[in-house]
Structure 1
Amino acid sequence: MPYVISFAVFAFSVLTLIDIITKRDDQVNHLPKLVWVILAILIPVLGGVLWWTVGREWPAREPRDHGWRGAAPSAATGGIRIVDDRAPRDVRDLRSTEQQLADLEREIEADRLRAELARRRAERGE
């Protein structure tokens, strides 16, 4: 019996460590990934339970149709998809960070050019 408990704790710890290591940094809550790894190693059961309950970012789930009033969710919303603003960044915006930064730089440059054009027009009296 003690071997079964020891094996279960070991398997749970290994599964927890694999899950922590394979998650991206933006999918980790409350503490840095390295701290979660250290917690899972030093305090295997408690660290694992904390990781699975509060440390891990769970993917957003699609609403299920439970047949309420016989209408499917798409019919109930008129075919409109409802977007939850509380969803993680990677769910709302599928662009990479580099793409987002490049878009932001283009917007800043365009605003700067518009301001320069407006200033020059004002100088000429247009």
Structure 2
Amino acid sequence: MLRNLPFLLALAFWVWAFIDCLTTPEEEVRYLPKVVWVIIVLLFPLVGSIAWLAVGKDRRAARGRAAQWSPESAGGRPGTARPGGRQLAPDDDPEFLASLRKDNQRHEDMLKQWEADLRRREEDLRGSEDPDQGPRA
């Protein structure tokens, strides 16, 4: 079992490098086009993986992109950190609950409007179908 360990480690490294190469944005790939890097990693598993790790990906750009996110840039969505550093669940977030109430009220008003329109149409149809009563005003 121990003699298979180097092979398994090399295989895991190759799979990681291949997936990393595929998922890296084009602007973070250095020296060669992304397609060429994918082919190199596929055709030369160990050497290609090491080359990709060493020179293929611009790691500084990836760190800069990850550092740009902050809780304040999340737009105050439910569950994001608040200025006090405390995280709120959606059911505890007053802003989120207020937006739900507002949407609920809007939907209720729309439903009442549809029901009134439906009643009016039904009354119009009943009035025009009843020959004894004549046309309704």
Q: For the superposition of Structure 1 and Structure 2, which TM-score range results when normalised by the shorter chain?
A: 0.3 to 0.5
- Structure number, greater radius of gyration: 2
Task: Say which structure, 1 or 2, has more relative contact order (CA 8 Å, 6+ apart).
Answer: 1
Greater fraction of residues in helix: 2
| TM-score of the two chains, using structure 2 as the length reference | 0.42
| TM-score of the two chains, using structure 1 as the length reference | 0.46
